C-alpha cells in the first residue's frame, strides 16, 4: 500500500534471497527517486510505481532497462491506445512530455542482481508531464507490461533503436565537466548514444543527461 521506495525494498529483498523476476508494486512511495537523485512522487493510487528484480544479468546490464522501457511502450498502447517514444537513456515521452522514468540499480556480490524501477504517470502528472488518463487502472498497465516483457525477442537492440525518439534530434548532453551540443545520430548495441557536434566531431556517451532541443 505504501513504502519509501520499491527499488530500495527490492534490493533489500534481493540480499535476503528473493527470486529472479520478483515484482514489487506500491500504491504510494514516500521516498521515490529518479536519476541524479531527483524526487519522484505522485498521489496515492494514481500512478504505476513498480520495481522488477532480475538475477539473470546480461553482459550489458543496460539491456534490462531497455527491455522494461519497450514493454512499457507496448503496455501503454494495449491499455490506453497511445504509443510513447523512448528518450535516451531512460525516459518515456508522450507528445514530447515526460510520461515515465526508469531507474536501474545493481547489487554486486556472489549472486548479482539488478532492480529496474519504473514510475509511469497514469492518472496524475506534474504540470509539465504527460499521463495516460484518469480512467486507466495502474494495475492493468502493470499486467500488460509484464505480458509484453515476456513477449520481447532475445535481442532487442533493433527494436530499441526503432523506438528511440532521441535519434534525429538536436540535443544537449549535460556532463559533470561540461556539455556537448549536437545531433543524436545513432545508438550502439552497448547502449552508447552517438552524437555529432557542431564541429562534426563524433561523441559516444555511456551516461549523461540529455535535453531535446527545439
pLDDT tens profile 42-83: 788 899 999 999 999 998 899 999 999 999 999 999 999 999
Q: How far apart are CA 99 and CA 31, in angstroms?
A: 19
CB 169 within 8 A of CB 184: yes
Q: What does pTM read for this prediction?
A: 0.93
Strand partners, 172: 181, 211
Q: How far apart are CA 51 and CA 86, in angstroms?
A: 19
Mean pLDDT, residues 86-114 taken together: 92
pLDDT-based confidence at 36, cuts 50/70/90? very low
pLDDT at 31 over 60: yes
Give 19's DSSP letter: P
Amino acid at each position: 500500500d505504501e513504502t519509501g521506495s520499491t527499488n530500495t525494498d527490492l534490493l533489500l529483498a534481493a540480499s535476503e534471497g528473493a527470486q529472479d523476476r520478483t515484482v514489487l508494486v506500491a500504491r504510494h512511495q514516500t521516498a521515490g527517486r529518479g536519476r541524479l537523485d531527483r524526487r519522484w512522487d505522485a498521489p496515492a493510487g494514481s500512478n504505476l510505481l513498480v520495481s522488477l528484480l532480475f538475477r539473470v544479468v546480461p553482459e550489458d546490464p543496460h539491456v534490462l532497462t531497455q527491455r522494461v522501457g519497450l514493454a512499457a511502450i507496448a503496455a501503454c498502447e494495449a491499455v490506453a491506445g497511445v504509443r510513447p517514444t523512448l528518450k535516451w537513456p531512460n525516459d518515456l515521452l508522450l507528445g514530447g512530455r515526460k510520461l515515465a522514468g526508469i531507474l536501474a540499480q545493481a547489487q554486486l556480490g556472489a549472486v548479482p542482481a539488478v532492480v529496474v524501477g519504473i514510475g509511469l504517470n497514469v492518472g496524475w502528472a506534474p504540470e509539465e508531464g504527460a499521463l495516460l488518463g484518469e480512467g486507466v487502472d495502474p494495475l492493468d498497465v502493470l499486467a500488460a507490461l509484464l505480458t509484453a516483457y515476456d513477449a520481447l525477442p532475445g535481442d532487442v537492440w533493433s527494436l530499441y533503436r526503432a523506438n528511440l525518439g532521441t535519434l534525429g534530434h538536436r540535443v544537449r548532453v549535460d556532463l559533470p565537466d561540461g556539455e556537448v551540443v549536437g545531433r543524436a545520430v545513432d545508438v550502439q548495441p552497448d547502449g552508447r548514444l552517438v552524437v555529432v557536434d557542431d564541429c562534426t566531431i563524433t561523441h559516444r556517451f555511456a551516461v549523461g543527461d540529455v535535453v531535446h532541443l527545439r
